[in-house]
Structure 1
Amino acid sequence: MTSFRTLSIRASGLLALSLFLILMVGLGGLGLYANQQGREAFDVMRDEHVGQFRLLNLAQTRVFRSRVEMDRAARLTRVPSFDRPGPVIASAETLLSEAREAFEAFMAIDVGEAQADNKATLERHFRSLVSTGLELQLMLLKEGDLGAYDSGQARLTSMSQAFVDSVEAFSTLALEQEEGLAAGFRHLADSMNLALAAALTLALVLAMAMALTVRRYLLVPLKQLLEHFEAMAQGRLERRLPDMGSSEVGQLYRGVESLRRALVKNIRGIRETSDDLRHNAERMLDDGRELATRTQRQASALEQTVASLEQLTATVAQTVQHLGDANRLAGDVGKRASKGSEGVAAVAAAMDEIQRHADQVQAMVKLIDDIAFQTNLLALNASVEAARAGEHGRGFAVVAAEVRGLAARSAEAAGEIRSLTGASSKSVADGARQSRAADLSIQGIAAAVGQLGGRIAELEQAAGEQHQGLDQIHRAMAEIDAVTQRNAQMVERSREEAERLTGTALALGQSSAHMQLSDEDDDTCIGEMTVRTQRSWWRGLQAWRERRQARRLTQGVSA
């Protein structure tokens, strides 16, 4: 029994694993042997018997079909019909050739010594049937000797029967060999089943032995260790653990014993330092309250500053909006002045064009006046010539007088046109001068409006920059306000954490007060907590609970 306590779990597992491995290797070897034997038997049946039967059946079928085709060709030769005997004879010859090829493939397969005599007999009967019987009959058909063909039918029937008997003898022996292989495989399978049953029985015995060993030397000590852990969880640290040897379980017991001693030492240290932690937490709580008051005052001042900045920013934004409206109005006035200047310039250009056309009319009127003068001279000359002609030129004189009258009226009309165009040219010149003066005035107005728009744009830009600066200041103040609010929240959380830390320190001292320690583990004579220390812890815990309840009531009223 002591050897199991000193034996490690690894060595025990390796031993059990080795036994199971040996058992599995044995079973695997038997399985491989049985599998190999079965595969060999299957290969023999597949390669030799199945292949031989297939080729032999193919040769036999082709032989009989060749004989049937020969008989059909003989009938076609005796009784003429639409079918020709030549293709039927060729088909019989092809079938006979295929029968030879199949039989040669069959002969190439090794059948063993047991089938050697049957194979030789089968070969002799096949070659006799094909060479002596069928080929001779085929030759007689080709020559058309139907009498000799009919006389050879009886001999061919006896050869066919001998071939069929040899095939049956070969098949019977092959089936007996297959039955022998199957019987051997069944015997091997029965042996394998017995070996498997024995191996399973041995494995069951080993498993039961391992289960008992594991329960006695592993599960029971672990259960005891679990009970010890439960006692430690309940605060009972006074019980020592026994020595369980050098195995992993024994090492685990020694480790848990070391853990128990360390817990005893740490709990005593916690009892010593928890009082200092409580006092420090109370001081942190007082400092947090004072800091929270100051932070709230700072947050209130920042809120007032942010409100003033918001009002100033809104005023500057309104100013920027008004300047933008004025700038847009100035731009509209400048655009309209520019359009008016363009219209006046167009009027001046039209006046110049009218003046140019009036000058052209003056030139044309002068030309008409010259033409009228020349016409008048020509009419005068015509009248003189008509007077010289006497009675024959009287009609021509009348025409010349009419022409002179028309020339005079043309000269008068040209004079009136000249006077009218002169007055029109003077009016056009006056209008052009006035248009140029108006254009200059409108351009001056547009320039002044442009300068005014530029000044307004500069004012708008300056006001916008001022608004941006105020906005940035407002955002900065808002961020400062947010940071202050977060600081206030952090201070509040710090105060709450200080309160929780105080409660934690009290609860820590209270939780360690119920721990039961052994005097044998006290090497420094620290001992357990005194009655005075316990009373101090209880008073501190009750005061912390009262403060926390009062704070919750205050928060509920403010909400």
Structure 2
Amino acid sequence: MKIGARLAIGFALTIVIMLIMSFSGLTSIYHTSSLTDRIVNDRYVKVTLTNDMRSYSNRGAQSLRNAMLAHDNGSSRSFLESMTEAERVGAEAANKLEKILVRPEAKKLFAEQRADYAVYAEKRDQATKLHLDGNRDGAIQYLFKEVIPAQTAYFQRLDAILKYQSQLMAEDGQAAAAAAHDATIMMISMLVLATLLSAVGGYLITRSVTVPINEAVDLAETVARGDLSTHISVNRKDETGRLLSALKEMVDALTRTVGAVRNSSDTITTASAEIAAGNLDLSSRTEQQASSLEETASSMEELTSTVKQNADNARQANQLVVSAAEFAQRGGQVVGEVVSTMGSIKESSSKIVDIIGVIDGIAFQTNILALNAAVEAARAGEQGRGFAVVASEVRNLAQRSASAAKEIKALIDDSVQKVDAGGRLVDDAGATMQQIVNSVQQVADIMNEITMASQEQSQGIEQVNVAITEMDTTTQQNAALVEQAAAAAGSMQEQAVRLSEAVAVFRLSESRTIVPVQRAMDRPLIRPAAKPVSLPGRSARPAAAAKPAPAREAAAQPARAANAAKPAKAPASTANDGWEEF
């Protein structure tokens, strides 16, 4: 039964008891009021009228006696008038009493009183007549012998009526008192009964409401303490049952939510730890990449200086070749001076051999530097692809320079042999000189090509240097961003741990307990990156290039500290495994 129906029944029962009590009280009040009204408006009036009849009759008798005993006629007539007035008032009271008499016994007594009064009135009138006739003694004698006995009999009838009416009034008074007493007893009994019924009904209704509400309160307090393992059984169909059912659904939903949040928080903790570890690993690798780029930039500076020197030497060789061509042309004109100048040509040829040796050495060093540049480009990966192309072009130019130097060396060797045989071939000097002029012209063309190639090589290396500088700047910015991402991941991990601790307050039932995911922070995830391979010829790079930028150095400190605390892992294979041979 619902609470509203129970309360309605309880209040309805209380109202019914109140109505019964009110009806009983009104009935008793009405009965008592009727008795009181009858006493006041009937019994008391009759007693009063009977007393008036007796009083005025007694006053009339006294006036008659006084009139007879009076010594003068005036006084006697005054007493007789008083008697007549008293008898008239007494007669009016008698008429009123006769009209309100209802009981037969009362009417019988009143009729007997009328008869006695008639005898008394006749004898009274006779005594009055005797007195008025002047027979005073006879009137007094008649008064005592006839009137007073008749008056006594009449008064006895009035006393009987008065006694009867007084008895009826007393009976009504007793009945009213009994009715009031009965009403009081009944009201007290009804009040006690109503109190007991109200108390029992109120206790039962209150208990039927408070017990399940207390259960709901206890359940809510248990849930507030974080215990979601309480089993809730709903066996009611009233409002409290609906409340318990709603609480059960709330606990079930809260259990599912807490379980999902706990699982998600553990997953977030694991993911954030892995992200933090990956960011720290990436930060370390980015820092190493920046260091490698700095070394590459230093090497490119050295290569740029070497290439510029090579270009200067090529320009000087070109000038020497031009001078040699002029000398060869002049030699054609002064063939006669060939023998005398043969020694000078031999010396010049020796110098050219030395210069060609220098050019050959430069080409060899350029080849070595191109090899190192290719290795660094391979190590840079996707970002060094363009640099690898430039290094390949530099290598080709170096090979071409070496080939040209070898050709020039062969020609110079041939010239030396011809100088040695110049004495024997003076006759053929003209033809040979023409060949020398042609050869020198070819040498001039080749040296011009070497000069142009050296200039192009210098420009390309400068472009590579600019690209490496930009890559270094970008790498430093990436390192700073990675450090920020690592800090954000660490903060997210702390928040996830706090969320897990907050959710751990709730205690679920055994069937709903969620196994927490192993935290990633308990497993080593970060592996140190492979150290960059040191390249030959970098020991002489500027000391300033070996220092990282202050911003990146400050941002890299947390990552280095974190990497220092993590176990090492086998170094990963580098990306230059396919560059074992140049």
User: TM-score scaled by structure 2?
Assistant: 0.41
In our comparison, the structure showing a higher alpha carbon Rg is 2
User: TM-score scaled by structure 1?
Assistant: 0.42
Report which structure shows greater RCO (CA 8 Å, sep ≥6): 2
Higher helix proportion (structure 1 or 2): 1
